[in-house]
Structure 1
Amino acid sequence: MKKQIIRIARFQAVLLTAAVFVAGCVQIPAEPEKNPASGGEYDRSAALQCADAVLRAFQEKKYELLKEVLAENLQKEFTPEAFSQSFLQLQNTLGTIHSFEYRGELKTPVLKTLVWKVCFRRTGSDDSVIEQEILFRALIAPVHGESRVIGFGFL
């Protein structure tokens, strides 16, 4: 039990460090870009789809899904190798993503901060099914007129 608690604490420290590092890699525009199709700020549903794609990428172990929605400079930092390493850490510590549910948006200027509740499942040492819920945060901003993920992490 102590080993598991230490692994979870170590994993959370790695994720927090990665989230801080990754979120700091993108320059946020001074003012929100306008979406000509909607006549206003960029489309909220596009932001939801971007963040949803990040979770599906980790659920299905498909880096391509993630790469499609990442801002260009984040793609350079979060490589396929970094994705594989993060995926393995998630799987070893929490299990696999069983389900996720959008919980809401935090009020922030310029970018959208979206929050999900993510349910992980794994098999315990006694072959019992263990479920654990954790929060996921995605930072979405307009980049060249399109919603892009500029940071994300499990909290």
Structure 2
Amino acid sequence: MKWIIPVVLAVFFAACHTNAPRHQATPEVTSTEVSAVAAADPAEASVNVSVTEFEKLIGKKNTVLLDVRTPEETAAGKIVGAMEIDVLAADFTERVRRLDKDKTYLVYCRSGRRSTRAVEIMATEGFSHLINLEGGFNAWTAEHQ
């Protein structure tokens, strides 16, 4: 009976131990990879990127910066040069249909959830070059303080 407790403890500690690193960084997506994904499969026409990669893409040829937050949110601050179309507005899909489908859209919202939804809607409307900012404007402002 005396051996049960040491065996149980040994099994417990062995199960908790791992040689894997505690934190592995997610590799960044490069501009080339973004283009390759968008060109390869329209069903996978969107890519999530970090603030660093998103910033590198702003101002590139044929890119449009798209803020999908509410007017109240954009009034409090936005990324310079962003076009505003509220994803929560009833006419979002109609307004998106008027955009040039050949351009690359850099899409963001407050936290990344609504922009993910906006990108999904845009993909169903035939857009094939969509880039979503991971963490949204919150991540952007945290990076630019």
Length-normalised TM-score, structure 1 = 0.21
**Rg bigger for which structure?**
2
Structure 1 or 2: more strand by fraction: 1
